């Protein structure tokens, strides 16, 4: 099979502006939607983003069913609950998701399974699910992010925790992409600092992972263009989004965490999140994300500050960034220039640096930022011990969609060493 020679750029339509959430009722009207489903998580129902959406629909006379029991860090069961609610809600012409990645990802699954009902695993990524393609167009979905993190408003990816395996997996198809993302910096004003930190570090990792992913022309060429994966590998278009989002995160993340009233910083960070989404949505993410899925799924009793939920959870951004320094130490030999450039964009002094030090320079830069943002210092701070490593490796190995675009192939033994390195950082 010859290598691929082409790459494709796909993203949702986006509209950016402070206060743009208020336009959602008019957007639904213009789409011809008479009755919509509005989804949000319970923490947001009475905060400004949730209230603004409902007021905007009321004003424009758009009827809606309202579901605010989205689980933060969704599971297969919580997605099925939202799907059942939608199926029992009568005719729906459109969906509005107002919330973080948990809500927007749940909305994508609701859209898919209410339009093309199927066994839940049918569309889920192989080898866990059957990986069937989305059969046709879906209902209009308007995504309104309230975190500056996942970039889910731009991507065709929906992630959930598959409880049986204690690891995350997902559904990935371009047709899942929201029709429109309303990117409104007013919506992140109420983010607790710890959530702003964790979600912002997710942006940073999206950018570095997509920039360091294996290049698109090292993958086999698909038989038909429709079979070209969304996670194609690094390419010249996604590089631009990745580097610019990294530059913005380097400049504005600490400011948003330390001062939520800093309008300029919040505006830039929610844009950085969407930019990183455009990059990784077309290039992909690799080992830090692949390894994060069992880190989240195997959680025991970790209860992070700022997350108002009843269950134990490892916030997504935290589960990713704790692996990142150890991963980049491992992957840098495959493309040291790119690791060094990412470190420089993050503010490291790379003048005269040796390429063989690129991984360590990038890792140190990330560790310093994690400290500044009060992140837990490695997986041991979440309660993991070296005895957990075999299970963490086992949960990473099925994440083919991600692990295969790592610039350096990681065997089970390599993953075990990377997890050991990620237990704590000096
Ligand atoms: N689809 C994708 O491309 C993609 C990419 C990365 C991550 N994800 C997934 O997204 C999920 C994580 O999403 P997330 O990090 O955006 O967070 P989240 O949606 O899980 O929300 C985190 C917490 O912040 C609260 N919150 C959200 N917005 C708030 C606001 N404006 N004010 C006050 N509180 C607010 C929520 O109530 C919740 O307690 C994970 O399941 C992850 O796997 C998806």
Rounded Cα distance between 362 and 365, Å, is 5
pLDDT of residue 402: 92
Place of tokens 């919040």: 266
Residue whose CA is closest, atom 10 of ligand 1?
101
pLDDT at 11: 85
Å from CA of 344 to ligand 1 middle = 28
Residue pair 110/39 in contact (Cβ under 8 Å)? The answer is: yes
Residue 146 Cβ inside 6 Å of ligand 1? The answer reads yes
Whole-number pLDDT of residue 201: 98
Which atom, in ligand 1's list, is nearest to the CA of 187? 31
Compute the distance between CA of residue 327 and CA of residue 124 in angstroms, rounded to an integer. Answer: 26
Rounded to an integer, what distance in angstroms lies between the CA atom of residue 310 and that of residue 112?
28
End-to-end CA gap in the chain: 45
Distance from the alpha carbon of residue 143 to the mean position of ligand 1, in angstroms: 13
Establish whether residue 79 lines the binding site of ligand 1, counting it when its CB lies within 6 angstroms of any ligand atom. no
DSSP 32-45: T-SEEEEE--TTTT
Residue 220 alpha carbon to ligand 1 centre in Å? 34
Q: Which two tokens stand for residue 121?
A: 């695993």
Q: Which atom of ligand 1 is nearest to the CA of 195?
A: 24
For residue 13, give the H/E element and its range.
Answer: strand 13-16
Among residues 261, 105, 99, the alpha carbon closest in space to that of 168 is found at 105
Widest CA span of the chain, in angstroms?
A: 65
What's residue 413's pLDDT? 98
Q: Tell me, what's the pLDDT at 166?
A: 82
Which residues of the chain, if any, have pLDDT below 70? none
Closest atom of ligand 1 to 43 CA is 37
> Does ligand 1 have an atom closer than 6 angstroms to the CB of 212?
no
Atom of ligand 1 nearest to the CA of 161: 41
């Amino acid at each position: 099979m010859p290598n691929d020679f082409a790459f494709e750029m796909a993203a949702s339509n986006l509209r950016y502006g402070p206060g743009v959430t208020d336009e959602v009722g008019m957007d639904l009207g213009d789409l011809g939607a008479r009755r919509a489903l509005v989804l949000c998580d319970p923490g947001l129902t009475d905060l400004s983003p949730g209230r603004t959406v409902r007021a905007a629909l009321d004003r424009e006379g758009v009827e809606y069913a309202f579901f605010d029991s989205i689980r933060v860090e969704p599971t297969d069961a919580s997605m099925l609950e939202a799907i059942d609610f939608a199926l029992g809600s009568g005719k729906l012409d459109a969906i509005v998701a107002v919330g973080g990645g948990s809500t927007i990802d749940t909305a994508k699954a609701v859209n898919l399974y209410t339009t093309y009902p199927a066994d839940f695993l049918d569309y889920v990524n192989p080898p866990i699910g059957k990986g069937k393609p989305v059969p046709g167009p879906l209902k209009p979905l308007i995504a309104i992010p309230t975190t500056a993190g996942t970039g889910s408003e731009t991507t065709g990816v929906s992630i959930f925790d598959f409880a049986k395996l204690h690891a995350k997996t997902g559904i990935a198809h371009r047709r899942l992409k929201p029709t429109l993302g309303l990117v409104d910096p007013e919506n992140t004003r109420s983010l607790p600092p710890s959530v702003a930190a964790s979600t912002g570090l997710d942006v940073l990792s999206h950018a570095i992972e997509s920039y360091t992913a294996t290049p698109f022309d090292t993958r086999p060429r698909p038989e038909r263009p429709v079979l070209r994966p969304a996670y194609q590998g690094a390419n010249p278009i996604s590089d631009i989004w990745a580097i610019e989002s990294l530059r913005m995160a380097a400049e504005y993340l600490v400011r948003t965490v330390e001062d939520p009233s800093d309008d300029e910083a919040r505006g830039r960070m929610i844009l950085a999140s969407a930019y990183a989404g455009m990059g990784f949505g077309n290039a992909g993410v690799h080992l830090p994300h692949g390894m994060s899925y069992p880190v989240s799924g195997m959680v025991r009793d970790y209860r992070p500050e700022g997350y108002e939920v009843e269950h134990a959870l490892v916030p997504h951004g935290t589960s990713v960034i704790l692996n990142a320094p150890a991963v980049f130490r491992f992957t840098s030999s495959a493309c040291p220039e790119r690791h060094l450039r990412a470190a420089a964009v993050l503010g490291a002094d790379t003048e005269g640096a040796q390429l063989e030090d690129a991984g360590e320079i990038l890792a140190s830069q990330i560790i310093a930022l994690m400290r500044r943002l009060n992140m837990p210092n490695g997986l041991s701070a979440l309660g993991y011990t070296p005895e957990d490593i075999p299970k963490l490796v086992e949960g990473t190995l099925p994440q083919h969609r991600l692990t295969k675009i790592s610039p350096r192939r990681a065997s089970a033994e390599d993953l075990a060493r990377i997890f050991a390195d990620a237990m704590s950082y000096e």
